[in-house]
């Protein structure tokens, strides 16, 4: 899609998009090739200079109008996303509202790109400026395509960059509509294009010498490959990758509340969430009580038709992905894990789709794959600990460091433990560690750079130092 207009690929190739809940084909979409990438990058370069010269309030006003248009189409966008990726409509309605909120935040941040002035001994004025990078390639994941398009495009655009969005081929339709609405809101032709297709399209963008920045959300293995390729042209890179986050429960926590709300942090989006608390670490003195409450709440979750507002968990993105998740669970059981609930596709649902019951595994030890690797499915591994030192050791015993929760009434303990856990974001007595106003990103194999907040503006700008002499 160039200039807000859907077009056929230069080579005429297409691919199909399937509804994960039914398997039916819901769209036939153009598959971009190298010629399409070259054309989109060239258009972005031509358009970016003029866009950067617009006043920041003008760029912010465009984003505000786009937020209005998304709110006006929120229900249609939610239904479109649900039939693309299988998330329950209750969740995709929240995604549409979230996308609009992101755009409004960055519309208001348009004039918040601040530089500094610094004292100096040369008698002049020493200051810094924030300038756009140029053309940014934004590669998004299928689990939240609308939110990710807004999250990556808004700070890049408001900072004066042009953007090329490459959505996942599994769920591209809300991104295509996002681009149409962006141009209706006033984003200039060439400043926002969408290139649909598989990994080859993303690779072509990463290699392109005229792309200055790559922002990617997805698997760690793909993120590492992008970083290697981007190094050849020293592109700026922001990588939001995998996670194996822990919910750490101490004996003094509100156990009733944990039992009621903590499963939501693991099974929302059917566990296909990089921030999912897929490990539950519980102090031994309250282990049995927490586990009983947690399993009871998990058993009340409704797995079913994602178009039903009462549904809590829809299908995984595909039956093939469901089978990978199931194979990991079976491997864990073979190693000694005990299935307390779930552990298989629900018997009442179509086995040809990606359905999988929310699963809780006891008897897990830290070296198991189910305890260390991201399964990206509705599976929680439960491990006991004795004291703070063991809790921290277990929380850090994965190659990831994205998110997590600490549950305790002891403020001192909350401070001590949060400072020792290696994670980009954490929450205390809450499932939520991602906030629009605050930087978000990971450590270790969970990624590089930060999104959200004013930090995202910095990630999309170049810092220039300027000295103005005090004498002519």
Pairing state between β 213-217 and 135-139: parallel
CB of 392 closer than 8 Å to CB of 421? yes
Nearest to 444 by CA among 384, 408, 404, 407: 404
State the pTM of this model. 0.96
Q: Which residues are catalytic?
A: 240
Q: How far apart are CA 163 and CA 211, in angstroms?
A: 9
Pairing state between β 236-240 and 14-18: unpaired
Q: How far apart are CA 239 and CA 395, in angstroms?
A: 22
Q: How far apart are CA 407 and CA 412, in angstroms?
A: 12
Nearest to 252 by CA among 20, 57, 421, 428: 428
Domain boundaries, the chain: 14-241+446-466, 246-435
pLDDT given at position 267:
98
Q: How far apart are CA 469 and CA 356, in angstroms?
A: 67
Rg (CA), the chain: 23
The CATH superfamily assigned to 14-241+446-466 is Aldehyde Dehydrogenase; Chain A, domain 1 (3.40.605.10)
pLDDT tens digit sequence for 145-175:
999 999 999 999 999 999 999 999 999 999 9
pLDDT given at position 2:
66
CB of 290 closer than 8 Å to CB of 282? yes
pLDDT given at position 1:
63
The rounded average pLDDT for each run of 10 residues, N- to C-terminus, in the chain (472 residues) is: 75 95 96 97 97 96 98 98 98 98 97 93 94 98 98 98 98 98 97 97 98 98 97 97 98 97 97 97 98 98 96 96 97 98 92 92 97 97 98 98 98 98 98 96 97 97 95 72
* Burial zone of 299 (CB within 10 Å; 0-12 exposed, 13-18 middle, 19+ buried): middle
Pairing state between β 359-362 and 338-341: antiparallel
pLDDT given at position 3:
62
pLDDT given at position 32:
97
Length in residues, the chain = 472
pLDDT given at position 173:
98
Q: How far apart are CA 276 and CA 404, in angstroms?
A: 8
**What are 93's two structure tokens?**
């309605």
CB of 82 closer than 8 Å to CB of 92? yes
- Helices 56-72 & 89-108 angle (0-180, nearest 10): 160
pLDDT given at position 348:
86
Angle at 447 between CA 395 and CA 337, to 5 degrees: 35
**What are 356's two structure tokens?**
């999988």
Q: 246-435: same fold as 14-241+446-466?
A: no
Residue 111 CB coordination number (10 Å)? 12
In the block, which residue shows the tokens 């991602």?
Answer: 434
- Helices 388-395 & 411-420 angle (0-180, nearest 10): 40
If you classify domain 246-435 with CATH, what class do you get?
alpha beta
Residue 71 CB coordination number (10 Å)? 16
Angle at 380 between CA 375 and CA 382, to 5 degrees: 130
Phi-psi region of 136 (alpha: psi -120 to 50; beta: other; left: phi over 0): beta
Q: How far apart are CA 219 and CA 242, in angstroms?
A: 6
Buried b (16+ CB within 10 A) or exposed e, 116-149: eeeeeeeeeeeeeebebbbbbbbbbbbbbbbbbb
Identify the three-state secondary structure at position 90.
helix
Q: How far apart are CA 357 and CA 342, in angstroms?
A: 5
Q: How far apart are CA 268 and CA 376, in angstroms?
A: 11
Alpha helices in 73-214 (DSSP H): 74-85, 89-108, 145-158, 173-185, 199-207
pLDDT given at position 275:
97
- Residue 270 DSSP code: G
pLDDT given at position 356:
97
CB of 2 closer than 8 Å to CB of 37? no
Q: How far apart are CA 31 and CA 15, in angstroms?
A: 6
Identify the three-state secondary structure at position 419.
helix
């Amino acid at each position: 899609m160039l200039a807000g207009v859907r077009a056929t690929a230069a080579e005429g190739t297409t691919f199909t998009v399937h509804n994960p809940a039914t398997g039916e084909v819901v769209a036939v979409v153009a598959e971009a090739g190298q010629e399409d990438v070259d054309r989109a990058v060239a258009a972005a370069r031509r358009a970016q200079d003029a866009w950067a010269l617009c006043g920041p309030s003008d760029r912010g006003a465009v984003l505000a109008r786009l937020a209005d248009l998304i709110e006006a189409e929120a229900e249609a966008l939610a239904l479109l996303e649900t039939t693309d990726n299988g998330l329950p409509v209750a969740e995709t309605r929240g995604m549409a509202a979230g996308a609009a909120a992101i755009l409004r935040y960055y519309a208001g941040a348009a004039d918040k790109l601040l530089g500094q002035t610094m004292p100096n001994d040369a008698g002049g004025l020493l200051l810094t400026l924030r300038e756009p990078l140029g053309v940014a390639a934004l590669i998004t994941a299928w689990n939240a395509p609308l939110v990710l398009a807004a999250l990556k495009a808004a700070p890049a655009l408001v900072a004066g960059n042009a953007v090329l969005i490459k959505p996942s081929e599994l769920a591209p339709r809300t991104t295509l509509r996002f681009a149409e609405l962006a141009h209706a809101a006033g984003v200039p032709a060439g400043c926002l294009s969408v290139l649909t297709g598989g990994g080859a399209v993303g690779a072509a963008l990463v290699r392109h010498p005229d792309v200055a920045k790559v922002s990617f959300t997805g698997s760690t293995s793909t993120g590492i490959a992008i970083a290697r390729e981007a190094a050849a042209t020293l592109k700026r890179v922001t990588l939001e990758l995998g996670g194996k986050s822990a919910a750490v429960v101490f004996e003094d926590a509100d156990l009733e509340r944990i039992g009621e709300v903590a499963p939501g942090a693991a099974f929302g989006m059917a566990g296909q969430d990089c921030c999912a608390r897929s490990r539950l670490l519980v102090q031994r003195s309250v282990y049995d009580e927490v586990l009983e409450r947690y399993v009871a709440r998990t058993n009340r979750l409704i797995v079913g038709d994602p178009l039903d507002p009462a549904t809590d968990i829809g299908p995984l993105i595909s039956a093939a992905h469901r089978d990978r998740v199931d194979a990991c669970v079976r491997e864990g059981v073979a190693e000694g894990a005990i299935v307390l609930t779930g552990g298989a596709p629900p018997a009442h649902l179509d086995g040809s789709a990606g359905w999988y019951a929310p699963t809780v595994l006891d008897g897990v030890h830290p070296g198991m794959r189910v305890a260390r690797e991201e399964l990206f499915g509705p599976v929680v591994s439960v491990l006991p600990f004795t004291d703070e030192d063991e809790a921290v050791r277990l929380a850090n015993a994965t190659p990831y460091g994205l998110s997590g929760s600490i549950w305790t009434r002891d403020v001192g303990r909350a401070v001590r433990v949060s400072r020792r856990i290696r994670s980009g974001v954490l929450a205390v007595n809450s499932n939520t560690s991602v906030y629009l106003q605050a930087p978000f990103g990971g450590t270790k194999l969970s990624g590089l750079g930060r999104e959200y907040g004013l930090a995202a503006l910095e990630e999309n700008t170049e810092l220039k130092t300027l000295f103005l002499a005090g004498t002519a």
